[in-house]
Structure 1
Amino acid sequence: MEKIETIEQFEQICSSHRPFLLMKHSLTCPISHRAWTEFERFTKDFPNIHAYYLHVQHARPLSQYIAETFHVKHESPQVLWITERGVEWHASHWSVTYEQMKKATMSAS
């Protein structure tokens, strides 16, 4: 799992044409803290899945860019499964769970 902060970093990841998970994480929200725990556990159990995250407080332009590019309303916490076809799946708040991430990434692989 790797932290990203810029549009340029995000574009480089997209240009690799590899599916990846992206988490928009708030450093101040208790719901986001719980979602982060789920995301962290999932990425440890599935290290072959490329995973990135951003802190919304430090990367607002990037977060907004992703929302506008993929036409997915920004929320936090939020996890997106992005492939060459775009956002295949996304979840926010209490729906960010280990099982939902597993279901989304395994059915798309």
Structure 2
Amino acid sequence: MGLLNKLFNSSSENKDEKELPWNILTSLSQLGDIKEKSLLKTQLIFKHSTRCGVSRMVKNQFLKDYDFTEKDFDLYYLDLIEYRAISNEIAQTFHVYHESPQLLVIKNGTAVANKSHGAINDLDLKGYL
């Protein structure tokens, strides 16, 4: 059983995962905070479907490639399966079509960029510092 647990246990997948300074989105009130904070520093929202293999692959690549600090961006993570209402409100508040996975770049109270699926990892975030 030990070998099978190592192969199929999702917790072992996360063991070697790079840690990012995620702020977990769990309430609608945080969206107002994000808009306000974006007046001073660019905010990023990563929307992730925990049930989707493509979303998992994109998230893993994002984790691998993300090379910024908390001084550069505030980075938010949304489990859109658990918090679908927040995902819907993000789409409405920032005038973006809901997709998953999706990365939104929020600056000066608006979404200045958003990408979904594999295009997330092609987004040049340095241009939004």
* TM-score of the two chains, using structure 2 as the length reference: 0.73
CA contact (8 A) 2:45 2:77 kept: yes
CA contact (8 A) 1:21 1:52 kept: yes
1:85 Cα deviation after fit: 4.9
* 1:107 counterpart SS class: helix
Structure 2: distance between partners of 1:89 and 1:58: 24
Number of equivalent positions: 104
* 1:58 counterpart SS class: coil
Query: Residue 20 in 1 paired to residue 47 in 2?
Result: no
Aligned residue in 2 for 1:2: 23
1:33-83 deviation digits (Å, cap 9, x = unpaired): 01111232344x211321111001111111001101121110010001110
Structure 1: distance between partners of 2:97 and 2:34: 21
Aligned residue in 2 for 1:46: 68
Structure 1 stretches of 4+ with a deviation exceeding 4 A read: none
Structure 2: distance between partners of 1:50 and 1:78: 16
CA contact (8 A) 2:36 2:109 kept: no
Structure 2: distance between partners of 1:75 and 1:90: 10
* 1:61 counterpart SS class: helix
* TM-score of the two chains, using structure 1 as the length reference: 0.85
The amino acid that maps onto 1:86 is T
* 1:80 counterpart SS class: strand
Structure 2: distance between partners of 1:77 and 1:70: 16
Query: Residue 74 in 1 paired to residue 95 in 2?
Result: no
Q: Name the larger-Rg structure.
A: 2
Structure 1's unaligned 5+ residue stretches are: none
Structure 2: distance between partners of 1:39 and 1:94: 10
